[in-house]
Structure 1
């Protein structure tokens, strides 16, 4: 278990949200899968009306209501921490990325921006004020990992090291895979880059920790989702799920 009470260092995945057309349906699905409760209001890194997803009364993610299904993108959006959203947005542009939504205040919660890397993967920036981001991580029902999956890992490695001062190292546990760890300057691992020629689109993939992968898969299927078959990996039992609206995410029991 890890409770977050302050803003995370530069580049740390600090908030996740999901754009949904059917807010009530999404709440029903994710509530069934993870046991989340929900509160309505501004959702962390976006400021749009939606719902915060609560675990033990603390926000762990956000659901953001949109009216156009084309705006849902089929994945959760990860927001990376910064103590200066404007400066980091400028670094994004200088390194060859794009700024899709310029830095803007989200009331007293913080300052946010939406960006895209040179491979086409979307991510957010979050400068917390009263809202540091996910208040619980690394426990069942909460965010445990984000990894960039792209067919152009070289460009991604160059970009993220330039913008967030990450260092890189390989992974001997995944023989034959083009996988690179991303580490903050203090050595803390924040995720990785997986080079995959068959990747249909570049995406920051989101993984939630669960207590029992097989039981979670069963709940997701009963709630209208689909799933790959659970499999054992060097890090735990893993499965990729798809919610009833086409959003992919993964779960792992470590």
Structure 2
């Protein structure tokens, strides 16, 4: 499970690129109870989503040409420059080269060889999200990809991730753990997009799962606020109850009440 004791390759930050920060804050405030703390004009409109005074995610304006609203996971690195070299050597693309964010830390952003966007965070004063796995916070990261084998090879090369393949009807789900972390440190999954998804034009994309107290009630709140249904609430054996939707700006969001809750 996710933890705020961050290790190499584990998710340690998450932000939303949005065309309308105020609208995003209103939507996620209604759905998850988050409050927006702006970092001020010097941060270019960037702000933190907080729950009970603790940072659970962040939001910022779309800054890249042609960008659409989406969530981006950041993975822990001790050296963003070295990770950037590893990404390039493994066939990834550097979208944002390593750069210091004041004294908070150092970031870089990439696109993997299958087209999914992600980033890394090298902590400075900001060590990462304050809380994960609690209700209305990040509990899982998941990659839907056009080429699961290529994606797994890439991320193993960059982060030394471990995988455990779990077969489901018609698909294999690869559970991700940081190097040497074992099952107690599982952090996400990688899944091959099916033919019908590919035929419909789906591309590779990371998206977050947020733990909630009641999937059906949270899903209903999101729908009332303009979300579009992707997967209606359903039970997943051995996992819990899940659902997925697009927020009003088009970013994909998954919610879950884990079976261990």
Q: Normalising by structure 1, what TM-score? A: 0.91
Q: Deviations over 1:161-192 (max 9, x none)?
A: 111111222115x3432211222222222212
| Matched-pair contact (CA < 8 Å) for 1:2–1:139 | no
Partner of 2:188: 191
Pair 24,74 (structure 1): closer, same or farther in 2 beyond 3 Å: closer
Please, which moves more after superposition, 78-87 or 195-204? Answer: 195-204
CA–CA distance in structure 2, aligned partners of residues 169 and 67 of structure 1: 36
Partner of 2:209: 207
CA–CA distance in structure 2, aligned partners of residues 2 and 192 of structure 1: 12
CA–CA distance in structure 2, aligned partners of residues 150 and 242 of structure 1: 18
Partner of 1:178: 172
Aligned pair 1:86/2:81, yes or no?
Answer: yes
SS state at 1:232 partner: strand
Residues paired across the two proteins, number? 246
| Matched-pair contact (CA < 8 Å) for 1:183–1:189 | yes
CA–CA distance in structure 2, aligned partners of residues 167 and 34 of structure 1: 31
CA–CA distance in structure 1, aligned partners of residues 65 and 100 of structure 2: 25
Give the Å deviation of 1:67: 6.7
CA–CA distance in structure 1, aligned partners of residues 17 and 69 of structure 2: 9
| Matched-pair contact (CA < 8 Å) for 2:2–2:187 | no
Aligned pair 1:233/2:240, yes or no?
Answer: no
Aligned pair 1:12/2:13, yes or no?
Answer: no
Q: Which runs of 4+ in 1 moved over 4 A?
A: none
Partner of 2:20: 22
Q: Deviations over 1:84-130 (max 9, x none)?
A: 11111110101111111100000011000001111011000100111
Aligned pair 1:39/2:37, yes or no?
Answer: yes
Match of 2:46 among 47, 50, 61: 50
Partner of 2:95: 100
| Matched-pair contact (CA < 8 Å) for 2:2–2:139 | no
Partner of 1:149: 144
CA–CA distance in structure 2, aligned partners of residues 205 and 252 of structure 1: 13
Aligned pair 1:137/2:135, yes or no?
Answer: no
Aligned pair 1:169/2:164, yes or no?
Answer: yes
Q: Deviations over 1:140-177 (max 9, x none)?
A: 110011111112011101111111111222115x3432
| Matched-pair contact (CA < 8 Å) for 1:21–1:69 | no
| Matched-pair contact (CA < 8 Å) for 2:62–2:69 | no
Give the Å deviation of 1:226: 2.4
CA–CA distance in structure 2, aligned partners of residues 157 and 68 of structure 1: 26
| 5+ residue gaps, structure 1 | none
| Matched-pair contact (CA < 8 Å) for 1:37–1:54 | yes
